Amino acid sequence: MASEGDDPGFIDLDFVEIDKESMLSNARSFYEQMDSRRTTRNFSDREVPRELIELAIKTASTAPSGAHLQPWTFVAISNKKLKARIREEAEVEETRFYEDRIPDEWEEVLAPLGTDHVKEHITDAPWVIVLFRHSKRERGGDLAPTYYSQESCGIAAGLFISAVHNMGLATLPHTPSPMGFLRDILQRPKHEHAMLLLPVGYPAEGARVPDLRRKGLEEVSDFRD
């Protein structure tokens, strides 16, 4: 409870310190769980309760954001006709991308992953979540800027992916290029910009993933003790 004289609008931090042994145990357990996470393009159509999707979005919305503006909207789609329409439009754009627009350097690194213009995951997965980034915000009946919306939405997306894996499901960060058609289909305001399309569900039986290795700690860090 805030005491007299404290700054208005602030409350005490609810922080419970745990012993170092438990901290290390928790850290190792969470790392091992997330290290088992893989991105798959092979989804089952098994039903996933809406409550799980709601909890993943609520978890994502705990992300820190510039000026606490939370500049995101997660559009959750289970309607089969709507998913089919999104897939159709996505495959149109992806066909153009793979045939006409893909840079040689990008094609080179995508080749081992076996990706192409066919996006079965959009219609196979029971849920498709589209993350929209807000470049503007409502302010007194007008629009004002948001701040660090790209960074804020990136953090929220990471928490969403972690939440999905934590609950025992799979997802795939998909970025059809360009993504403007998603705003049109889903009738979002002009100041919202589709950032990621994330199918969510159970992996299909026999799902396979590329045989990849993650970079080691020494490749992704630089400690200055």
Backbone angles phi, psi at 63, to 5 degrees: -60, 145
Q: Span 85-102, mean pLDDT?
A: 89
Q: Would you give the distance in Å from CA 55 to the centre of its chain? A: 14
In angstroms, the first-to-last Cα distance of the chain is 38
**Contact (CB, 8 A) for 170 and 164:** yes
Predicted confidence at residue 102, as pLDDT, reads: 82
Structure-token pair, residue 96: 């153009």
Query: In the chain, which residue ranges form alpha helices assigned H by DSSP?
Result: 20-35, 50-60, 80-96, 104-110, 121-124, 149-166, 180-186, 217-220
Q: Span 143-151, mean pLDDT?
A: 97
Residue 211: partners with Cβ closer than 8 Å, 6 or more residues away: none
From 54, 91, 89, select the one nearest 74 (Cα to Cα): 54
Domains belonging to the chain, first-starting first, are 44-205 (3.40.109.10)
Q: What is the pTM of this model?
A: 0.93
pLDDT band at 161 (very low <50, low <70, confident <90, very high): very high
Residue 128 in this model has a pLDDT that exceeds 70? yes
Residue 97 in this model has a pLDDT that exceeds 90? no
From 34, 24, 23, select the one nearest 166 (Cα to Cα): 34
Predicted confidence at residue 3, as pLDDT, reads: 54
CB atoms inside a 10 Å sphere around CB 146: 22
Tens of pLDDT, residue by residue over 28-79, are: 999 999 999 999 999 999 999 999 999 999 999 999 999 999 999 999 999 9
Predicted confidence at residue 94, as pLDDT, reads: 87
Predicted confidence at residue 133, as pLDDT, reads: 98
Least confident of 16-25, 82-91, 98-107, 174-183: 98-107
Backbone angles phi, psi at 82, to 5 degrees: -70, -40
- Tell me how far apart the alpha carbons of residues 222 and 224 are, in angstroms, rounded to a whole number: 7
- Tell me how far apart the alpha carbons of residues 59 and 73 are, in angstroms, rounded to a whole number: 13
Structure-token pair, residue 69: 């503006």
